[in-house]
C-alpha cells in the first residue's frame, strides 16, 4: 500500500510560517510600540519637547522637596551661564541692574557709614574711661593696635577661621576666615592638624575608633574639632565659646555631609569644586560681644572736656606770658647793645638780632673792659649773645694811660698822670729810664707830649746817700744804675761782713750787691801761702837745729800762724805739709830716718812757740841709693800748703 508523503523541507517552511503568524498575533503590538519608542528616543526634537513639557513640574517638585539641594545643583551651571552672558552683553545687564544696584549701593554705603560711626563711638566711649585708658596703655606696651585690645576685652567669643579637612588624607577641602589678613598656608595647617589628631589617637587608645581629639587650647584661642564620616571641621575660636556653639557646628557638618556626600567622597584636592561649601562654612563664623551697659552720664567726657579747656586756657596764658617775656628780653637786648656802643674803647660795626639772641661784631681795646663783661653787667646770659671783636688801640684816656704803663714799665717810685693828652711823670727814676720814657711815650695813641720836670734822677741821689751811709774805705767803688747799687774793689773782711747787717733803707734803692768786693785778707793769705811754699830750713849735717835754723823756723811759724788766722776768718781750712829731705848718702833706711827726724824737729819747734797752727802733715822724701856725690842743698826741710778749701 502506498502513501503520498510531503517533503521535509516544505513541512518545515509551513511550521515557520505558522510560528510567525502566531508571534505576530501575540507580540506584534508590543514590537510596534518598542519600535516607535526607539524612534522617538532617537529623535532629539521630540525628546526636547517632552523635557520642556515636564521640566517646570520637575523643578517645582524638587524645590518643594529640598530647596537647598536644588539651589546647590543649579548654582554652577547658572553661574557659568550668567558669567558668559555678562561677558558677551555687559551693557544689557548694566541697564537691567541699574534700577536695582543704585538703591542697593546706597543702602550698603549707609550701612557701612553706620557701622563706622558705631565703631568710632565705641572707641571713644572706651577711650574716655578708666578701663579704656588702661586698655590704651596695654596697647602701647604690647604694640597691639588699640582696636584689637578693645576687641579682645569686649568680645565674648568669635570663630575666626574654619577648616573643612578630609578624613584619612588630611587634605584641606575648604577654608574660610573672618578677615583676609588671616589667610595663610591652610594646606600646611590642615596637614599638621591631622597629624596631631592622629598622634593623639595613637598615643591614647590606638585600638579604639572612638578616641578623637575634641579641642586644643593655644593662648587665648581654642581649636574645636567636630568629626564626621568623610570629613571633620576645625574651628579657631577666640574667647570662651558657649557649649551650644558645638551643636551649631555639628549641624553645619551634618548638612555638608547630607548635601555634598559625593563631593566629599570624590575630593582629590581641586579647590575649585568646593565653592558650594562656602555658604555653609560661613555659618560657622559666629561671634558674640558683651552687651554694653546702660548709657550713663558721660563723666569721663566732661572731665576730658574740662581738662582740654583748662589746657587751652593755660596755653593762652603761657603764650601771653611768653610774648611779654620776649618783648622784655628784646628791650633788654637793645639796651645792652646801646650801652655797648657807648662804652669807651669799643667800636660796634654790625648788630644782628636773631629771636632772643644777638650777634655783635666790631673792635675793642684789650686794655679796657671787654664787651662780654659789659653785657654780663647788663644782665645778659652768655648764651644770649655771640661776639666777634678784633683788638685795636683806642685813644681813650684810660686806655692811653694803661698802655703807657705797659710800654714804659715805670718803677714803683714813679707816678704817671694824663692831662689833656699830655703825660706827666713824677717821682724818682734813673736817667736812662727817663730818656727811654721821653722817647716811647709819644708813640702811645692818646698821648701827644711828655712832661718830666717833676722827675728826679734817682741814681745820682742814691749814690750820694750810699756814700754817706756806708763810708766806704779806700779801694771800694760804688755804682748805681736804675736803682740797683753794686760795690766793687778791696775792703777789710770785717767791713764787708758788716754790710749784710747794716744795709741802708733808701727810697728808690732796688738792691745792693757786693759780690764783687774782695777782702784784703784774701790777698794777704795768697801772699803768705807763696812765702810759705818758698821757705826752707837748711841742715848742715845730722838732725840738730842750730840757732840760725831755729830762728828761720820761728819766722816760718809766724807766717803759718798768720795765714791760718786769715784762712779761718775767710771760712777756709788750711793744711801744711812739712817735707824732710836728705842728700842720699847711706842706706835708704838711714836716709829715711834722718829725713823723718828733721821733720820732727821742725814740727816740735813750731809747737813750742804755742802759735795757732793748722793741721801739720809730716812727710819724708829720700834720694835713690847709689849717689856718689852728695847734694848738700838737699839737706833741708820744705813747707807746702796743699790747699785752702772753703769750709
Q: What is the pLDDT of residues 524-540, one digit of tens each?
A: 778 888 888 888 888 87
Residue 160 near residue 237 (C-beta atoms within 8 A): yes
Give the C-alpha separation, 352 to 362, whole Å.
Answer: 12
d(CA 280, CA 50): 36
SS3 call for 71: helix
* pLDDT value, residue 560: 83
CA-wise closest residue to 613 among 565, 551, 552: 565
C-alpha cell read off for 354: 636773631
Say which residue, 430 or 4, is predicted with more confidence: 430
Given this model, what pLDDT does residue 314 score? 92
Give the mean model confidence (pLDDT) for residues 512-530.
Answer: 75
Number of H helices, E strands in the chain: 19, 19
Q: Which one-letter DSSP state was computed for residue 633? A: G
Predicted confidence (pLDDT) at residue 316 exceeds the cutoff of 60: yes
- Residue 340, pLDDT above cutoff 80: yes
25-48: average pLDDT: 72
CA distance 72 to 504: 138
Please give the pLDDT value at position 250: 92
Please say if the pLDDT value at position 2 is more than 50: no
SS3 for 56?
helix
Cα torsion 439, 443, 448, 452 to 10°: value is -30
Q: What is the mean pLDDT of residues 14-36?
A: 70
- 357, 336 contact by CB (below 8 A): no
Once rounded to an integer, what is the mean pLDDT over residues 236-240? 85
For the chain, the average pLDDT equals: 77
Inter-CA distances, 469 with 223, 462, 478, 499, 506, Å? 123, 10, 12, 11, 10
Percent of the chain with pLDDT over 90: 1
Higher pLDDT, 18 or 404: 404
Between residues 278 and 612, the one the model is more confident about: 278
pLDDT of residue 121: 57
348-384 b/e with 16+ CB inside 10 Å = b? Answer: beebeeeeeebebebebbebbebbeebbeebebeeeb
Largest CA distance in the chain: 243
> Poorest-confidence range of 449-453, 502-506, 562-566?
502-506
Does the structure show a pLDDT above 60 at 5? no
Q: In the prediction, which pLDDT does 182 show?
A: 47
User: Higher model confidence: residue 553 or residue 67?
Assistant: 553
**pLDDT score of 251:** 92
d(CA 25, CA 249): 66
Provide the β-strand partners of residue 491.
519
Please write the tens of the pLDDT for every residue from 239-274: 888 888 889 989 998 998 888 888 888 888 887 888
pLDDT computed for residue 645 by the predictor: 58
Quickly state the pLDDT bin for 400 (edges 50, 70, 90).
Answer: confident
Residue that wins the pLDDT comparison between 79 and 264: 264
| Percent of the chain predicted with pLDDT > 70 | 76
The pLDDT score that the predictor gives to residue 498 is 67
pLDDT digits (tens, 9 = 90+) for 94-146: 666 656 566 666 666 766 666 555 555 556 555 556 666 777 777 777 776 76
Q: 82-96, 315-329, 379-393, 547-561: which range is least confident on average?
A: 82-96
Non-local (6+) Cβ contacts of 289 within 8 A are 154, 155, 156
pLDDT band at 647 (very low <50, low <70, confident <90, very high): very low
Q: Which residues, 6+ apart, have CB-to-CB distance to 82 below 8 Å?
A: none
- Model pTM? 0.34
Residue 287 has pLDDT above 70, yes or no: yes
pLDDT band at 494 (very low <50, low <70, confident <90, very high): low
Confidence of residue 67 (pLDDT cuts 50, 70, 90): low
Amino acid at each position: 500500500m502506498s502513501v503520498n508523503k510531503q517533503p521535509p523541507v516544505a513541512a518545515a517552511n509551513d511550521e515557520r510560517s505558522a510560528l510567525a503568524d502566531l508571534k505576530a498575533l501575540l507580540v506584534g503590538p508590543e514590537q510596534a510600540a518598542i519600535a516607535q519608542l526607539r524612534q522617538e528616543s532617537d529623535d532629539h526634537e521630540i525628546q526636547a519637547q517632552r523635557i520642556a513639557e515636564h521640566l517646570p513640574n520637575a523643578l517645582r517638585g524638587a524645590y518643594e522637596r529640598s530647596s537647598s539641594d536644588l539651589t546647590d545643583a543649579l548654582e554652577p551651571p547658572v553661574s557659568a551661564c550668567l558669567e558668559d552672558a555678562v561677558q558677551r552683553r555687559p551693557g544689557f545687564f548694566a541697564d537691567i541692574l541699574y534700577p536695582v544696584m543704585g538703591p542697593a549701593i546706597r543702602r550698603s554705603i549707609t550701612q557701612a557709614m553706620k557701622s563706622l560711626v558705631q565703631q568710632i563711638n565705641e572707641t571713644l566711649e572706651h577711650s574716655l574711661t578708666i578701663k579704656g585708658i588702661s586698655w590704651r596703655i596695654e596697647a602701647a606696651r604690647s604694640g597691639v593696635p588699640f582696636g584689637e585690645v578693645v576687641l579682645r576685652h569686649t568680645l565674648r567669643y568669635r570663630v575666626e577661621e574654619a577648616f573643612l579637612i578630609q578624613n584619612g588624607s588630611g587634605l584641606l577641602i575648604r577654608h574660610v576666615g573672618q578677615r583676609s589678613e588671616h589667610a595663610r598656608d591652610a594646606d600646611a595647617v590642615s596637614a599638621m592638624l591631622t597629624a596631631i589628631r592622629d598622634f593623639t589617637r595613637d598615643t591614647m587608645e590606638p585600638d579604639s575608633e572612638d578616641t578623637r581629639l575634641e579641642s586644643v587650647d593655644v593662648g587665648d584661642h581654642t581649636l574645636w574639632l567636630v568629626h564626621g564620616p568623610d570629613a571633620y571641621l576645625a574651628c579657631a575660636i577666640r574667647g570662651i565659646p558657649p557649649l551650644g556653639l558645638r551643636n551649631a557646628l555639628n549641624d553645619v557638618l551634618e548638612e555638608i555631609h547630607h548635601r555634598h556626600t559625593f563631593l566629599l567622597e570624590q575630593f582629590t584636592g581641586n579647590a575649585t569644586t568646593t565653592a558650594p561649601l562656602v555658604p555653609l562654612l560661613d555659618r560657622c563664623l559666629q561671634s558674640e560681644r558683651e552687651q554694653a551697659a546702660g548709657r550713663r552720664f558721660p563723666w569721663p567726657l566732661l572731665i576730658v572736656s574740662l581738662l582740654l579747656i583748662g589746657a587751652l586756657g593755660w596755653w593762652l596764658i603761657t603764650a601771653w606770658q611768653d610774648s611779654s617775656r620776649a618783648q622784655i628780653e628784646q628791650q633788654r637786648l637793645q639796651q645792652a647793645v646801646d650801652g655797648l656802643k657807648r662804652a669807651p674803647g669799643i667800636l660796634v660795626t654790625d648788630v644782628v638780632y636773631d629771636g632772643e639772641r644777638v650777634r655783635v661784631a666790631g673792635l675793642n681795646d684789650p686794655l679796657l673792659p671787654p664787651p662780654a663783661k659789659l653785657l654780663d653787667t647788663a644782665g645778659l646770659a652768655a648764651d644770649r649773645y655771640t661776639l666777634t671783636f678784633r683788638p685795636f688801640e683806642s685813644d681813650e684816656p684810660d686806655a692811653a694811660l694803661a698802655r703807657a704803663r705797659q710800654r714804659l714799665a715805670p718803677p714803683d717810685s714813679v707816678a704817671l698822670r694824663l692831662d689833656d693828652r699830655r703825660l706827666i711823670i713824677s717821682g724818682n727814676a734813673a736817667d736812662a729810664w727817663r730818656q727811654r720814657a721821653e722817647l716811647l711815650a709819644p708813640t702811645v695813641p692818646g698821648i701827644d707830649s711828655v712832661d718830666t720836670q717833676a722827675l728826679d734822677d734817682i741814681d745820682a741821689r742814691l749814690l750820694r746817700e750810699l756814700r754817706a751811709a756806708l763810708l766806704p774805705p779806700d779801694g771800694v767803688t760804688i755804682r748805681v744804675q736804675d736803682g740797683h747799687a753794686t760795690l766793687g774793689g778791696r775792703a777789710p773782711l770785717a767791713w764787708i761782713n758788716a754790710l749784710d747787717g747794716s744795709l741802708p733803707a733808701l727810697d728808690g734803692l732796688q738792691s745792693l750787691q757786693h759780690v764783687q768786693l774782695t777782702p784784703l785778707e784774701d790777698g794777704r793769705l795768697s801772699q803768705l801761702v807763696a812765702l810759705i811754699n818758698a821757705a826752707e830750713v837748711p841742715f848742715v849735717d845730722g838732725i840738730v837745729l842750730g840757732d840760725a835754723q831755729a830762728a828761720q823756723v820761728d819766722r816760718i811759724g809766724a807766717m803759718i800762724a798768720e795765714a791760718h788766722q786769715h784762712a779761718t776768718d775767710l771760712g777756709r781750712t788750711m793744711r801744711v805739709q812739712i817735707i824732710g829731705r836728705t842728700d842720699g848718702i847711706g842706706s835708704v833706711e838711714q836716709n829715711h830716718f834722718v829725713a823723718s827726724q828733721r821733720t820732727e824737729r821742725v814740727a816740735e819747734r813750731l809747737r813750742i812757740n804755742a802759735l795757732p797752727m793748722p793741721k801739720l802733715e809730716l812727710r819724708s822724701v829720700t834720694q835713690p841709693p847709689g849717689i856718689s856725690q852728695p847734694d848738700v842743698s838737699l839737706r833741708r826741710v820744705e813747707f807746702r800748703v796743699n790747699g785752702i778749701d772753703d769750709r
